[in-house]
A and B are shown apart, each in its own frame.
Chain A
Amino acid sequence: MAIKFATDEWIKALCAQLNANEAYAQAAKDWEGDFYFIVEPEGSLTETIYLYMDLWHGKCREAFATKNPDERNPAYRMSAPMSTWRKVIEKQLDPIQGMMTRKLKLKGDMMRVMKVPKAAIEIVNSCTKIETEFLE
């Protein structure tokens, strides 16, 4: 059954997928950092959603969705409207190209992110394994 994107259930499903992804575990084994994946309002989404993930040496330790930006103070914030996230998840937009063209806006230590491009690709690969329903 499809899970609605930008919900608590969806980000927890992604966390579970990542924890089952051996390639991600290998690619991110020396990396740590927590994120807000920020879904900006668009279409029927009228409020900003913050999807929090704590990524720790190849594993996802915690994940939840919130509307309160102050609930955590993560090292990285990556934001885009719903339609852009959809393109990434459906592999129509390469996440690295998305960041380079600022379709995906990333705030945080860029040098550390650039060291693990494979981890970014594997996160997208894990996203594609979730049957996702997008708000129009």
Chain B
Amino acid sequence: MWYFRTPEIVFGEDALSHLDELEGQRAFIVTDPTLASLGFVEVIQKHLRAAGMESAVFAEVEPDPSLQTVRRGAQTMREFGPDWIIGLGGGSSMDAAKAMWFLYENPEADPAGINPFDKLGLRRKARLIAIPTTSGTGAETTWYLVLTDLESRRKLALLNPEIMPDIAIVDPSLVINLPPQITADTGMDALTHAVEAYISTWHNDFSDGLSLKAIQLIFEYLPRAYADGGDAEAREKMHNAATIAGMAFGNSVTGLAHAMGHTMGAVWHIPHGRAVGLALPYVLEFTRAEAGERLAEIVCFLGMEPEPAGRAAYVLAHRIRELMRRIGQPVTLPELGISADDFESALAELTEKTELDASALTNARMATTAEIERLYRYAFAGKEVDF
């Protein structure tokens, strides 16, 4: 027994006009200072006025939003009393909106206590809309969020099915001016979501088709969106692909590339998508036996010559590295700017944190401590995995 969960998804050109039809009195927008300064908030507020709604804005979300910011935002939210909450931005703003929503509905609760087993009692006061302004995170479709506790210096990965947004608005006009580097980083995040969801131990019939379609779209349109940010078709397809990949991994899970990516991000402060993307080909090679047939299915779906299961991981990993080179992404740790000294001094911490990351547990091949260490060594050397 398992569940397939998804928000209502409004997508395509002019999808934001769905806001004009909202029924309610007050909407509270959660976003970051950059998006506010670029005029994105005014666009949303114009649509809310068309719906006859008042709005208020909390534009203080930082990258890797903190528990402390979320508490401050929830206090402002309580004073305003919205019946709609809008998370506008990348994963950080959408995650912050989810957490503030939880605190708005449960003022005395501790967000760190969000777990998948308890009832949260959401939707008594408000419902949540997520509007992504990058094409990668998939947070608009998932029931996960990540917060940072500044006091204990811990990252809190929290999940509960109730915290999934009610509506995701996937409007390509919001990503048309994304810089190439962010396009590449977030695109690799989306690709890693889609591939890992397809081969994770929790993959299922309902998520599989979403994974395959997202992979296909990303291979076709990510290089175009990177090369020409004004390519409206590529932008729209990538925006859709990221949400589709979000639905895939939101109903399956990710795997070891995400465990390694989370860890590299925490240790070296590198963008999430760049880190998980770098790890992905090595993890596929490592998982070649356990996920061989499923990787062969991906290879076929991409229109390549059918490969025997044992070879498919290498073929797909090669194709992913080719894509990464086309979009200026590093395929080895030195290309990421990691020196040999930095690597050696961080290796023990990388290995331990990766092993304890929950995403490592749903990889089709469970890695031992020694294997994780070797994977990092191969990623440093840029060597095809052969163990």
Residues of A within 8 A of B (CB): 23, 26-27, 94, 96-97, 99-103, 106, 110-111, 114, 117-118, 121
Contacts of A121 in B (CB 8 A): 361, 366
What is the minimal beta-carbon distance from B152 to any residue of chain A, in angstroms? 13
**In terms of DSSP, what is the predominant structure of the interface of chain A?**
helix
Query: Cα distance A111–B118 when bound, in Å?
Result: 10
Query: Cα distance A23–B3 when bound, in Å?
Result: 30
- The yes or no answer to B201 lying at the interface (CB within 8 A) is yes
| Residue pair B117, A118 in contact (C-beta under 8 Å) | no
| Residue pair A97, B202 in contact (C-beta under 8 Å) | yes
Q: Which of chain B's residues 1-38 have a Cβ closer than 8 Å to chain A?
A: 1-3
Contacts of B116 in A (CB 8 A): 99-100, 114
| 7 examples of A-B residue contacts, CB within 8 angstroms | A26-B369, A99-B116, A102-B117, A103-B1, A110-B115, A114-B116, A118-B361
Contacts of A118 in B (CB 8 A): 355-356, 358, 360-361
Query: Cα distance A101–B5 when bound, in Å?
Result: 13
What is the minimal beta-carbon distance from B366 to any residue of chain A, in angstroms? 8
Given contacts A94-B202, A97-B202, whether A117 and B117 have CB atoms under 8 Å apart is no
Which residue in chain B gives the minimum CB-CB distance to A23?
B368
Q: Which 6 A-B pairs have the closest CB atoms?
A: A110-B115, A117-B358, A100-B116, A101-B1, A110-B117, A121-B361
| Residue pair A100, B112 in contact (C-beta under 8 Å) | no
| Residue pair B112, A111 in contact (C-beta under 8 Å) | yes
Flag B75-110 by CB within 8 Å of A: 1 or 0 each.
000000000000000000000000000000000000
- The yes or no answer to B39 lying at the interface (CB within 8 A) is no
Which residue in chain B gives the minimum CB-CB distance to A117?
B358
Contacts of B360 in A (CB 8 A): 118
| Residue pair B117, A99 in contact (C-beta under 8 Å) | yes
Q: How many A-B residue pairs have CB under 8 A?
A: 39
Interface size class of B (residues with CB under 8 A): 10 to 19
Which residue in chain A gives the minimum CB-CB distance to B114?
A111
- The yes or no answer to B113 lying at the interface (CB within 8 A) is yes
What is the minimal beta-carbon distance from A81 to any residue of chain B, in angstroms? 14
Q: Which of chain B's residues 31-67 have a Cβ closer than 8 Å to chain A?
A: none
Given contacts A26-B369, A101-B1, A101-B2, whether A111 and B201 have CB atoms under 8 Å apart is no
What is the minimal beta-carbon distance from B356 to any residue of chain A, in angstroms? 6
Given contacts A26-B369, A94-B201, A97-B2, whether A110 and B361 have CB atoms under 8 Å apart is no
What is the minimal beta-carbon distance from B158 to any residue of chain A, in angstroms? 9
Contacts of B113 in A (CB 8 A): 110-111
Given contacts A94-B201, A97-B202, A121-B361, whether A27 and B356 have CB atoms under 8 Å apart is yes
Known contacts A111-B113, A118-B355; 11 additional CB pairs below 8 A are A23-B368, A26-B369, A27-B355, A27-B356, A96-B361, A97-B202, A100-B117, A110-B113, A110-B115, A114-B116, A121-B361
Contacts of B358 in A (CB 8 A): 117-118
What is the minimal beta-carbon distance from A52 to any residue of chain B, in angstroms? 22
Query: Cα distance A52–B284 when bound, in Å?
Result: 40
Query: Cα distance A85–B150 when bound, in Å?
Result: 40
| Residue pair B115, A111 in contact (C-beta under 8 Å) | yes
Q: Which of chain B's residues 109-137 have a Cβ closer than 8 Å to chain A?
A: 112-113, 115-118
Contacts of B1 in A (CB 8 A): 101, 103
What is the minimal beta-carbon distance from A126 to any residue of chain B, in angstroms? 14
Q: Which of chain B's residues 196-221 have a Cβ closer than 8 Å to chain A?
A: 201-202
Contacts of A106 in B (CB 8 A): 117
Contact among A23, A27, A110, A117 with B118 in the assembled complex (CB-CB below 8 Å): A110
What is the minimal beta-carbon distance from B245 to any residue of chain A, in angstroms? 21
What is the minimal beta-carbon distance from B237 to any residue of chain A, in angstroms? 32
Contacts of B112 in A (CB 8 A): 111
Contacts of A102 in B (CB 8 A): 117
Contacts of A26 in B (CB 8 A): 355, 369
